[in-house]
Amino acid sequence: MSEHLGEFEQLVMLAVLRLDDDGYGTSIREELKARAKREVSPGAVFTTLERLESRGLVSSRYGEPTAARGGRSKRYYKLTVDGRRALAQSLRTVRRMVQGLEPKLERL
């Protein structure tokens, strides 16, 4: 089964992968801001995570409730095996498309 990923899905999945088991909504947004230089709304991140989870590309678990969050739990995300496979395939495709174009892109 081939999973096609959009750019924002790739970015979210890369952030989740980088954060390992510590990826939750706010940390994913911070990672996108720091590395991709993208300001994104919480809703955009959560909508994307829900879509990726429904496709079986990420899974989630709830942490322990904390007083700092008013007794609420953080929801942590991680890539599934299928998610890692889909992300790797997507990145290979992008690399093939970019191959040889670096000089043209550097002129901008």
Mean pLDDT, the chain, whole residue set: 92
Tokens 């191959």 found at = 99
Bridge partners of 62, per DSSP, are 75
| Closest to 93 in 3D by CA, of 7, 32, 19 | 7
The one-character DSSP state at 56 is: T
Predicted structure pTM score:
0.88
Give the ranges where the chain is alpha helix by DSSP (H).
7-19, 25-35, 42-54, 81-98, 102-106
| Closest to 86 in 3D by CA, of 61, 60, 55, 59 | 55
Which tens digit of pLDDT belongs to each residue from 2-51? 579 999 999 999 999 999 978 999 999 999 999 999 999 999 999 999 99
Integer-rounded Cα Rg, in Å, for the chain is 16
